[in-house]
Amino acid sequence: MNILVCVSQVPDTTTRINVAADGKSMDPAGVKFILNPYDELAVEEGLRLRDKHKGEVTVITVGADSAKEALRQALAMGADKGILVKADKQDSFQVAEMLAAAIMPLNPDLILLGKQSIDFDGMEMAPMLSELLNLPCATVAVGLTIDGTTAKAEKEVEGGREVISLTMPCIIAAQKGLNDPRYPSLPNIMKAKQKPIQEIVGTPSAARTAIVGMTKPDKKRANKIVKADGDANAAAHELARLLHEEAKVI
């Protein structure tokens, strides 16, 4: 099985975001970048399917040279080879187009990716690729079984799960719960350094969106703190009163 996993590089979840001097982007100073956590699920699923059905796992990303680090992390988990589409990216439409152009000649049997990258949180990449590659797609997948020419995915939706049947090849976007991603072992981290990363030059189309500004939320909070000091009933009564009379939420 020829499995392709699309990954992205994102700031670590512990990062405190600061706005850069241009007022439109994140200040990268001091920020640690990691493989997008949802993409780890996609890589893991790819590895398990490869081990079951044979074949290989290729990881692909769009970005600058520094994005190779995300590919190396996926290779250290066990992926076989990487592709870096080198390009400046301004919006997700461009990224989807450049990914689709790079993926098309590879004819993968399965495309996996994380349900969202935890930087811009748009969740749009899988459906965009579905349109551009004309392949069926299931997102927010917490379950996946493949049986010959069909796949069955369980998609987490509000209040439950949808069971989606897809013809192969297809696109699956992974959600937490699909599997438990492995940690790369030290020997595999060393081996990953020798694995091939192919570089392709991406040619983005004109951007369709423009960022006007980036700000940090500055909601003012009442910040009233009640100390129970051993009298839980009094504290609970005061909190209920504040919620009822002041915040008026009940």
Subset of residues 90 to 119 that bind other proteins, contact rule: CB under 8 A: 91-93, 96, 118-119
Least gap, CB of 34 to other proteins (angstroms): 11
Residues numbered 36 to 95 that lie near other proteins (CB under 8 A) are: 37-38, 91-93
Residue number, 26 or 189, with CB nearest to other proteins:
26
**11 sits near other proteins (criterion: CB under 8 A):** yes
Characterize 133-147 residue by residue with b for buried, 16 or more Cβ atoms within 10 angstroms of its Cβ, and e for exposed. Answer: bebbbbbbbbbbebe
Which DSSP string do the residues of 62-82 spell out, in sequence order? EE-GGGHHHHHHHHHHT--EE
Angle at 19 between CA 13 and CA 23, to 5 degrees: 145
**29 sits near other proteins (criterion: CB under 8 A):** no
- Residue from 1, 2, 19, 109 that binds other proteins (CB under 8 A)? 19
Residues numbered 110 to 169 that lie near other proteins (CB under 8 A) are: 118-124, 126-128, 130-132, 134-140, 142, 155-167
Least gap, CB of 10 to other proteins (angstroms): 9
Least gap, CB of 32 to other proteins (angstroms): 13
d(CA 81, CA 240): 58
d(CA 87, CA 66): 11
Number of residues that bind other proteins (CB under 8 A): 87
Residues numbered 216 to 245 that lie near other proteins (CB under 8 A) are: 216-217, 219, 221-229, 232-233, 235-237, 239-240, 242-244
8 Å CB contact between 191 and 185: no
d(CA 96, CA 191): 30
Structure tokens at 65: 């040279």
Residue number, 71 or 126, with CB nearest to other proteins:
126
8 Å CB contact between 116 and 229: no
Residues numbered 165 to 194 that lie near other proteins (CB under 8 A) are: 165-167, 170, 175-177
